Amino acid sequence: MLIDDYKKEIAERIREYFREKYGVEPKIRFTPPPSFEVADIATPIGFSLAKVLKRPPEDIAKEAAEVVKGLDFVEKVEVAKGYINVFLDKKRALKDLLEELQGDPLSFEKKNKKVVVEHTNINPNKAAHIGHVRNAVLGDALARILRRYGYDVEVQNYIDDTGVQVADTVVGLRFLRGLRKEDLDRYEPLDKYCRHVYTLVNKRYEIDKELVKYQREVLKELERGSSELAEFAREVSRRICKRHIETMYRLEIEYDLLTRESHIIRLGLAEEALRKLKEKGVAVEGEDEFSGAIVIKLPNKREFKALDKGAKVLVRSDGTFTYLLKDIGYTLRKFGLVDKDFLYDVFMRYPSGKELRTTSFEGKKDGFGKADIVINVIDIRQGVLQAIIRYALEAMGYEEQARNFIHYAYGVVHLSKKTAERFGIYSKKEIVKMSGRKGIGIIADDLFDEIEKIALENILSKHPELDLKEAREIARKIMVASVRYMMLKYDRLKDMVFDIEEAMNLSGESGPYIQYSVVRAKNIIKKSEPAEFDPEGAFLCDKERPLVRSLLEIRERFVEAAEKMDPQLLARYAYELAMRFNEFYESCRVAGEPDHIRGARLGIVKAYIKAMELLLDVLGIPIVEVM
RNA sequence: GGGGCCGUAGCUCAGCCUGGAUAGAGCGCGGGACUUCUAAUCCCGUGGUCCCGGGUUCAAAUCCCGGCGGCCCCGCCA
């Protein structure tokens, strides 16, 4: 049993009592006690019933307390005002905890539902920046959580290889730099080089109208060309895409499938969507300012109030498709609502041997898509567009799919003034907005390098005996913990201000802090003589109880995070546990203690390690042996 | 103009969904603890008109209404 089970029994017992005695059906809420000194489990039952029973809250609480006292896992119950404060039988609870952690408290029944999570989605025209990292880390954590929760999860990464952004970079490489395919090898890492090129092109557009003509030419070639220029452009975007995959792999983020926009176009998914929308009369010829275009008519719903025109373009007057239409088409494919399908080819192989596949017309058939739930991890600013996709599904008659189409939104990453200055960006404002076009931002790989450098210095100074290769790998894992925790600890819907000092600080409320607590736990195991678990030796040190009490919440916390799809809750829980463990570590010794004490504490330490292995795996934070 | 989000300590943020006990962390600042399982740690201290006003309630940071301030969206870009 864990805390969720205890609560359930307490609630049932109280409910039953009040139902039988007074004929009322109280709703029992549990409130976190101010501290575990006050209670293990608390509920303000007296207040909730005072009105119905017309009696003082304290009286009612006293009555409820008597009922709860009978439960075998309860040691004592105190009444404070309208609250009842339940104290668990600590030794019983500890035994329950160890038993649960012997197995897997986070194993859930298969739901037999497929979820497609699409994240990262970086334009393959320049280096990834920290905004993209937030997207990828959130998406990856979400995928891991849902997988653990029993869903069949497929991770896709949408590559817009035909868009304006790629065209701009290609214009720069070809018409400003005069590069050809065979030159590209000399410009690695290409993503970083292209960042400058892209910024330069955007500046040049303002003064050089000739260049804009090239942009259109490239754009056309990207969609359907087979010329040398088209080949070149494809190679550029392929290489940069590969770089993005490598960048994210540094954080141990992997994908199952790359979907390329050029393939979506070629497969005719946009036409398919358009046909269905026209059939339902939702896609129509545009009028007035939209004349010549085909638009989707939007109902007068709140989420579309922002759009004052009541319609959105699907097909431009020049006949090209907007991203919106392409995405509607592709969403149909994800849900398996169209028969048309790609063939799938291998894009690359991860070191683990896992294949990263890509949409194609040359590989073989496969079972990608056919999702029950589709989740798009996309910037909050695109909320209206995502709402339109959902509406389009509804309008086409796919109401269930519309309900299961989730825009997993997240806030924008800005830079703190100090951080911006470090990168040569000066502003009067305290918060500096990034801009891909202007090249204002922090490149993901640069950030990772910096953090790894600091971590490596630390690790080598503390453990000079480590060989460099080993130390580097540990430094990398510390970097992963640092970056991932930073991206998960904030409310995902809120904008965040990125401060590089904070990111590189490996102590405080951080990933490395959590990792370090696990290293300490493992050291205890390594350095202590083994001893049988003995409940008699438990709770002789006052930091054991809060740790055990917190560990009992593992399933409850995980389920809440999974239901709400909120990795932040788990990140903070992991931190809370690490804090409690560090307190335990400081005041309760294990090695060298008498057998019964050592046995009990080793049990707690092992439980902590097991719990953290489960939690950190779901958060994508690696565990290290030494740091 | 319309729609949305946000406002909690010097700074960065939890808590608000689902009202409940003295409002919590981290950073910063001041002090203390390493012959002991690694001090990337811990302990003590410092610091708050929970933006303002009103309402609902036994009870409001939390729910409702109205202000004020900041941000985002409202492209035939994505």
CA distance A43 to A30: 4
**Beta-bridge partner residues of A302:** none
3-state secondary structure of A579: helix
CA atom of A466 to C1′ atom of B11, Å: 37
Question: Which ipTM did the prediction report?
Answer: 0.96
Structure tokens at A288: 């007035």
Q: Which two tokens stand for residue A453?
A: 């450098």
Closest CA relative to residue A140, chosen from A127, A124, A156:
A156
Q: How many CB atoms lie within 10 A of CB A102?
A: 11
Distance A296 CA to B19 C1' (A): 43
- Name the strand (E) or helix (H) holding A498: strand A496-498
Specify whether the CB–CB gap between A44 and A29 falls below 8 A. yes
CATH 3.30.1360.70 occupies which residues in chain A?
Answer: 3-88
pLDDT at A318 over 80: yes
Preceding peptide of A189 cis, ω within 30°: yes
Span(s) in chain A for CATH 1.10.730.10: 511-619
Q: Residue at minimal CA–C1' distance from B6?
A: A494
CA–chain centroid gap for A71, Å, is 40
Q: Which amino acid is at A123?
A: N
- For residue A7, the one-letter residue type is K
Q: Is the pLDDT confidence value at A427 over 80?
A: no
**Could you tell me the two tokens for A65?**
């307390």
Fold of the domain spanning A268-336+371-410? Rossmann fold (3.40.50)
Neighbours of A27 (CB within 10 A): 9
Q: CA of A362 and C1' of B78: distance in angstroms?
A: 28
For the cut 80, the answer to whether the pLDDT of residue A430 exceeds it is no
φ/ψ of residue A618, rounded to 5: -70, -30
CATH code that applies to domain A3-88: 3.30.1360.70
Please write the tens of the pLDDT for every residue from A363-403. Answer: 999 999 999 999 999 999 999 999 999 999 999 999 999 99
Pick from A105-109, A193-197, A229-233, A433-437: least confident: A433-437
Residue A187 has a pLDDT of 95
In the predicted structure, residue A333 carries a pLDDT above the cut 80: yes
pLDDT at A422: 82
Query: Looking at strand B, which nucleotides approach a protein CB closer than 7 A?
Result: 1-6, 12-15, 17-22, 24-28, 36-43, 58-59, 71-78
A428 pLDDT more than 90: no
Residues of chain A with CATH 3.40.50.620: 268-336+371-410
Specify the nucleotide whose C1' lies closest to residue A523 (CA).
B37
CB-based burial of residue A299 (10 Å sphere; 0-12 exposed, 13-18 middle, 19+ buried)? Answer: exposed
**Intra-chain end-to-end CA distance of chain A, in Å:** 34
Neighbours of A429 (CB within 10 A): 9
Predicted local confidence at residue A366, as pLDDT: 94
CA A422 to CA A427: how far, in whole Å? 12
The pair of structure tokens assigned to A146 is 């849902």
> What is the CATH T-level fold of the domain A511-619, as seen in this structure?
Isoleucyl-tRNA Synthetase; Domain 1 (1.10.730)
The mean pLDDT of chain A is: 94
Q: Which of A104-118, A255-269, A308-322, A565-579 has the lowest mean pLDDT?
A: A308-322
Distance A626 CA to B12 C1' (A): 29
CA distance A489 to A486: 6
Q: How far is the CA of A32 from the C1' of B62 (A)?
A: 15
Query: Do residues A606 and A559 lie in contact, with contact meaning Cβ atoms separated by under 8 Å?
Result: no
What digits encode the pLDDT tens for the residues A494-549?
999 888 889 999 999 999 999 999 999 999 999 999 999 999 999 999 999 999 99
Mean pLDDT of A557-565: 97
What confidence category does residue A322 fall into, taking pLDDT thresholds of 50, 70 and 90?
Answer: very high
Q: Is 90 exceeded by the pLDDT of residue A325?
A: yes
Segment A71-81 shows an average pLDDT of 95
Residues of chain A with pLDDT > 90, as a percent, come to 86
Please give the distance of CA A325 from its chain centroid, rounded to a whole number.
27
| pLDDT value, residue A305 | 81
Q: Calculate the angstrom distance between C1' of B23 and CA of A569.
A: 19
Give per-residue pLDDT as tens, A568-627: 999 999 999 999 999 999 999 999 999 999 999 999 999 999 999 999 999 999 999 999
Nucleotide at minimal C1' distance from the A524 CA: B37
Q: How many residues does this entry show for chain A? A: 627
What are A26-38's pLDDT values in tens digits? 889 999 999 999 9
Nucleotide B33: closest residue by CA–C1': A586
